[in-house]
Amino acid sequence: MILEIIYTMLGPWSRTFVAWTITNPVPIGTFFTTLLAFFAAGKWQLKRIEDRTKSMVIEAGREALGENPQITAKVLFEKLHPEWEKMLRETAWFIPHRFELWPIPAAPQAVSERINFNSAWLGEYLWENGIKIRGGKPKKKSKQE
């Protein structure tokens, strides 16, 4: 009964395809296992990038404030970005796409969009961790949010 409904919904080739998948579970299982492995590896690499980025930002923020107490978040971001790109190339090969259905190369632009790595985030993150940097004070959230 349920298979007949599925056959009707999927069209004329559905009977052949569904019958093939039922009689050959190994290729289907292999495909989904491989997809799951790529998904898990991409999530792990993205988490590792986030952790390393946060520790790099804290360390660079402390050093920069020691050298120049008037440094701004934007200047620190521009100073830190080449080091971050180098770390990125050494840390990850791919990350999940924003829909998390397939992997994409861990290019600096894609990763920075995915983890929201920009000068505003850098300043706010440093401020939240007790490193008061110019241009980093978090924006106050309204009660409606």
In a domain, 56, yes or no: yes
Q: Structural domain tally of the chain? A: 1
In a domain, 97, yes or no: yes
In a domain, 11, yes or no: no
pLDDT digits (tens, 9 = 90+) for 70-81: 999 999 999 999
In a domain, 95, yes or no: yes
Listed in order, strand segments (DSSP E) in the chain are 94-96, 103-105
For the segment 131-144, the average pLDDT, to the nearest whole number, is 74
In a domain, 13, yes or no: no
The answer to whether 42 touches 53, Cβ cutoff 8 Å, is no
Residue 143: what pLDDT?
Answer: 54
| Average pLDDT over all residues of the chain | 90
pTM for the model stands at 0.80
Give first-to-last CA distance, the chain, whole Å. Answer: 49
In a domain, 39, yes or no: yes
In a domain, 54, yes or no: yes
Distance in angstroms (rounded) separating the CA atoms of residues 94 and 39: 10
Task: Label residue 110 by pLDDT band (50, 70, 90).
Answer: very high
In a domain, 70, yes or no: yes
Residue 145: what pLDDT?
Answer: 45
pLDDT at residue 86 greater than cutoff 90 = yes
112 Cβ neighbours under 8 A, 6+ residues apart:
118
Q: Which of 1-10, 99-108, 112-121 has the lowest mean pLDDT?
A: 1-10
**Domain residues for 106?**
27-128
Distance in angstroms (rounded) separating the CA atoms of residues 97 and 35: 13
Beta bridge mates, 134: 72
Residue 137: what pLDDT?
Answer: 79
Residue 16: what pLDDT?
Answer: 85
